[in-house]
Amino acid sequence: MAKSLVIVESPAKAKTINRYLGSGFVVKSSMGHIIDLPAKEFGVDLEHDFKPKYVTIKGKQKILNELAAQARKSNTIYLATDPDREGEAISWHLKNSICKDKKVFRVLLPEITSSSVKSAFDNTLDIKMDKVNAQQARRILDRVVGYKISPVLWKKVGKNLSAGRVQSVTVRIIIDREREIEKFKPEEYWSIIADLKTSANGSLKAKLSKLKVTNKAQADKIVEDVENAEFAVSKTNIKTQKRSASPPFITSRLQQEASSKLHFSSMRTMRIAQQLYEGIETGKSTAGLITYMRTDSVRVSAEALKAVRNYIKNKYGEQYLPPKSNFYKSKKSAQDAHEAIRPTSTSRDPETIKKFLTNDQFKLYKLIWNKFVASQMSPAIIQSTAVEIKAGNYIFTASGSTVLFLGYMAIRENDTKKNEPELPLLKEWDILKLLKLLPEQHFTKPPSRYTEGTLIRALDEKGIGRPSTYAPTINTIQNRKYVTKIKGFFHPTNTGVLTNNFLIEKFSDILDIKFTADMESFLDLIENGEKNWIDVLKQFYARFEKDITQAETPEKTDVKCEKCGKSMVIRWRFGKKFYACTSFPECRQTKAIENDDPLIKDISPQETEHKCEKCGSSMLIRTSRRGPFLACSGYPKCKNTKSIDKEGKIVERKPPEESDQVCEKCGSKMLIKTNRRGQKFLACGGYPKCKNAKPLPKS
């Protein structure tokens, strides 16, 4: 009897599903997309309703042939690719390529567990063409933007540059923040803290409030006024508040929290989440540990809610279980196609399965598990105390909080407020003793540069891209050298600023945040069957075509050529504007337009007065992705470098400390050195002739 063929994207997913299906099935992997637009040609017929030309991806023909051979042996084919637009498109391409004249069923697997797989195969579907068309529209939009703008960029800005519907707006958001920082003017302000003692020897710190102190003279005057004043409690306010848990993770929130708490990049987070979704061997069985990780919905199934409520009741007790399930509402723009990201089995707690997971898998799984279980627990009860203290004509305030009932914070311990100590018991008109006044000068700070987590939050809030696009977009803008990450924060490069400036001037729609967000909404409407995908493409291209024409047309000016008297136009080269004579090539007169963009940095090496202690050559200030540093001008013969701190001072290297050990390879003294992570180790003093190194013995 012929076996039924099941096709999924990845070998790991195939392996997991294969264990749940009987001997009547054979499970194969397509290794992702197998059909796509051609890599080296446009592949879109603009004259005939944007008809795409699909080809087999280079290197995938062998896989396609193997799948086709297996399909010929099978009477029934199940397409179990991921339950999103890309997965739907992969299934559609496979159906058209190898599944002709066969019974074909679409299988959606929101989670990969025995019961979920069985249910999915008992409730098969047809391929949803609205979802496929949304993917086609997205793919063609990106191809049109990339292929039409890139050649213009090569001519006007530089080679090997590219533009993208989402990536270019992402770069703009980073550059807009950099401009805010550049324009920022710090303002001086002072804080005045009173260190106080109660009659019962309790202590507290109160801060001057209701008065803006902007200079030292003003601060000194206040200190003088209150030093001998009586400090008396004028008002106390004690409130008991409930603090509820946040909903389970959606993709963007998972990426943000993994960035801030685990210091994972978005690509790393999604790669590990994919592994947890596709299946992990846990002893005698393999199971998907989390639900599908690309989602914008906080919805949770009734079965999962029942299971987690039983777990909370048994593990923590009745008081930690709310009377009914906590309900969370997804944002309006959510597609709500899949559940929130949650563990497939609450009983499979992180510590129980830690031995089966890599360190990264454990950290991410624990984050997801904790978030989900906490989301269905009772609120925490916090008692907050606020105190006003009068000192002459001035008011000081202090606040503190006490957790009366942990609630969900029994799991989400990091959700407690920091820097709010418990205040001593105070009542109105208690007299406090002043121990010390602490005036301190401050300056307002500019907005912070984006990290991966805060950038994803900004993209999510502005409606730019979708959960599945954040990680590859952030990866692309770094690979293209439009931005660089220094100590976790994104900085635009000269290339990024020059490209952004050109695109804003010539392709205002592509760089418009609202326009890009609206396009994402149109893709959602296509998927929901509310818009025709070809109509959306036509509407977009009508505006885009005008931008292309305008970008190729030099801008007219009233400036006259000093050589021939003809009018001059503004052209672009290497991302910079210049005046050029309209009678070119007869008259080749040009005139520079001075660059006034403060973000364009001079990154050429700058000579310093410092001399290299190794060869005597001058030391130069160079800039790397980590920031400025000193390098010998005798490079590559001399590779001496020195670090520069934030204040521009040279960080002198301390000579390595000698140990009492001798190198067993050459007899030289072993030195104690420190690696980039700050960890000490032993290295042979005969380096580079002897490269022996080993861990520092534990004392």
pLDDT in tens, 652-698: 777 788 888 899 988 899 998 887 667 888 999 888 889 899 988 87
Which residues share a beta bridge with 620? 607, 631
DSSP string, 348-365: S-HHHHGGGS-HHHHHHH
- The CATH code belonging to domain 188-244+380-443 is 2.70.20.10
Span of 219-223, 436-440, 562-566 with lowest mean pLDDT: 562-566
In this prediction, residue 609 has a pLDDT band, given cuts at 50, 70 and 90, of: confident
In this structure, are residues 319 and 373 in contact, taking their beta carbons and an 8 Å threshold? no
pLDDT of residue 645: 72
In this structure, are residues 52 and 136 in contact, taking their beta carbons and an 8 Å threshold? yes
In this structure, are residues 609 and 593 in contact, taking their beta carbons and an 8 Å threshold? no
Span of 124-133, 204-213, 284-293, 599-608 with lowest mean pLDDT: 599-608
For the cut 70, the answer to whether the pLDDT of residue 184 exceeds it is: yes
Residue spans in the chain of domains classed CATH 2.70.20.10: 188-244+380-443
CA distances from 671 to 419, 509, 697 (A): 42, 60, 13
pLDDT of residue 603: 62
Residue spans in the chain of domains classed CATH 1.10.290.10: 251-375
Phi, psi dihedrals of residue 231, rounded to the nearest 5°? -95, 115
pLDDT of residue 674: 82
Tokens (6 digits) for 299: 């919805």
Helices 513-527 and 533-552: crossing angle in degrees, nearest 10, is: 160
In this structure, are residues 229 and 439 in contact, taking their beta carbons and an 8 Å threshold? no
- Residue 22 identity (one-letter amino acid): G
Q: Does domain 137-183+451-551 have CATH number 2.40.50.140?
A: no
Q: Which residue, among 670, 673, 697, has the nearest Cα to 686 in the 3D structure?
A: 670
CA distances from 356 to 11, 287, 311, 368, 604 (A): 19, 11, 22, 17, 51
In this prediction, residue 418 has a pLDDT band, given cuts at 50, 70 and 90, of: very low
In this prediction, residue 420 has a pLDDT band, given cuts at 50, 70 and 90, of: low
pLDDT of residue 604: 64
For residues 143 and 150, give the distance between their C-alpha atoms in angstroms, rounded to a whole number: 10
Residue with tokens 């060869």: 615
- The mean pLDDT of the chain is 90
- Whole-angstrom Cα Rg for the chain: 32
In this structure, are residues 220 and 441 in contact, taking their beta carbons and an 8 Å threshold? no
Residue spans in the chain of domains classed CATH 3.40.50.140: 4-127
For the cut 70, the answer to whether the pLDDT of residue 559 exceeds it is: yes
DSSP H or E stretch at residue 437: strand 431-443
Peptide bond into 52 cis (omega under 30): no
In this prediction, residue 647 has a pLDDT band, given cuts at 50, 70 and 90, of: low
pLDDT of residue 587: 93
For the cut 70, the answer to whether the pLDDT of residue 626 exceeds it is: no
CATH class held by domain 251-375: mainly alpha
pLDDT of residue 54: 96
- Residue 142 identity (one-letter amino acid): D
Helices 302-316 and 359-375: crossing angle in degrees, nearest 10, is: 90
Tokens (6 digits) for 517: 């967000």
Q: Which residue, among 488, 492, 491, has the nearest Cα to 262 in the 3D structure?
A: 488
For the cut 60, the answer to whether the pLDDT of residue 203 exceeds it is: yes
Q: Is the model more confident about 402 or about 625?
A: 402
pLDDT in tens, 283-337: 777 889 999 998 888 999 999 999 999 999 999 999 999 999 999 998 766 666 6
In this prediction, residue 496 has a pLDDT band, given cuts at 50, 70 and 90, of: very high
Residue spans in the chain of domains classed CATH 1.10.460.10: 137-183+451-551
Q: Which active-site residues does the annotation give?
A: 292
CA atoms within 13 A on the CB side of 510: 33
pLDDT of residue 80: 94
In this structure, are residues 153 and 162 in contact, taking their beta carbons and an 8 Å threshold? yes
What value, to the nearest 5°, has the Cα angle with vertex 446 and ends 444 and 450?
A: 145
DSSP string, 7-40: EES-HHHHHHHHHHS-TTEEEEE--S--EES-SS
In this prediction, residue 419 has a pLDDT band, given cuts at 50, 70 and 90, of: very low
- Using a pLDDT cut of 70, give the percent of the chain over it: 96
- The CATH code belonging to domain 4-127 is 3.40.50.140
- For residue 160, the tally of other CB atoms under 10 A from its CB is 10
pLDDT of residue 177: 96
* Mean pLDDT of the region 221-230: 94
- Residue 190 identity (one-letter amino acid): W
- For residue 563, the tally of other CB atoms under 10 A from its CB is 11
β-sheet with 641-644: strand ranges across: 606-611, 618-624, 627-632, 641-644, 650-651
CA distances from 206 to 18, 94, 194, 403 (A): 65, 69, 5, 21
